[in-house]
Amino acid sequence: MDDNSVHELALRMGDNCLILGQGLSAWCGHAPALEEDIALANIALDLIGQTKHWLGLAADLSSEKKTADDLAFLRDVREFKNCLLVEQSNGDYGNTLMRQFLFDAWHYPVLEALVKSSDKRIADIAEKSIKEVTYHLERSTDLVIRLGDGSAESNKRMQGALNRLWRYTGELTEPDSIDDALADSGIAPDLGEIRKKHTQYLAAALREAMLTIPDGEQMQSGGKRGLHTEGFGYLLGEMQVLQRSNPGAKW
């Protein structure tokens, strides 16, 4: 297996963490309760920390002299490889929470498999990350269940969030040629196996939350190919404005 495929995997994992972390950070000072404000900020920090590891590896494997910061702040929209789910707008708290839950339920089994990767660099990053993501999944699952099986209003909001976001879950376990090559070499898991775990986990948790999985939803994809949703450009512009306005700026 050449380093180009490992580089692509590192970009995909890093971009997922970066974009979701950026979205969550917007809740700082605006969450519905102080406890949630602190929790969301901490999860965002966890994800940005993971981003540093993944994009650091991608930078090391790049043929150009780049850093993790370069990859985060100096790439254009089409160069990002994150899944479409993580770039969806925060919306209300229920929407943010459902987005987190759907991602966590995929992120955990992927990291669990990557800990056993034949590439030690990948395995080491996964081992560092999975402790944090274990908490992320426990927390988002608990809250989705509590709100889904709460009041009529909280159930309505969580069901609406699920209806809006479900179309972006298929891409998480939709393999392309790079995924297949990584799985064949033992570097990354077979996404077919991840799909089984993801589907089973979601079905059980959402059943307990009294939420109904949308039926016949047309799945959306393209993030791995650099094809993103309309709002992504605005998110990226906000995230990159300081570095692009003041090249090389340092705190």
Cα 6 to chain center, whole Å?
Answer: 18
Element containing residue 248 per DSSP (H, E): none
> Could you give the residue ranges of the DSSP H alpha helices within the chain?
3-25, 34-61, 68-73, 93-114, 120-148, 152-165, 177-184, 191-208, 232-245
CA distance 20 to 43: 10
Where do the structural domains in the chain lie, given as residue ranges?
3-211+221-245
pLDDT tens by residue, the chain, 251 residues: 568 899 999 999 999 999 999 999 999 998 888 888 899 999 999 999 999 999 999 999 988 888 999 999 999 999 999 999 999 999 999 999 999 999 999 999 999 999 999 999 999 999 999 999 999 999 999 999 999 999 999 999 999 999 999 999 999 999 999 999 999 999 999 999 999 999 999 999 999 999 999 998 799 999 999 999 999 999 999 999 988 888 877 76
Alpha carbon of 184 to those of 74, 76, 109, 118: distances in Å? 32, 31, 18, 11
Fold entry, domain 3-211+221-245? Ferritin (1.20.1260)
CA distances from 136 to 43, 47, 63, 139, 250 (A): 7, 10, 34, 5, 31
C-alpha 30: how far from chain center: 21
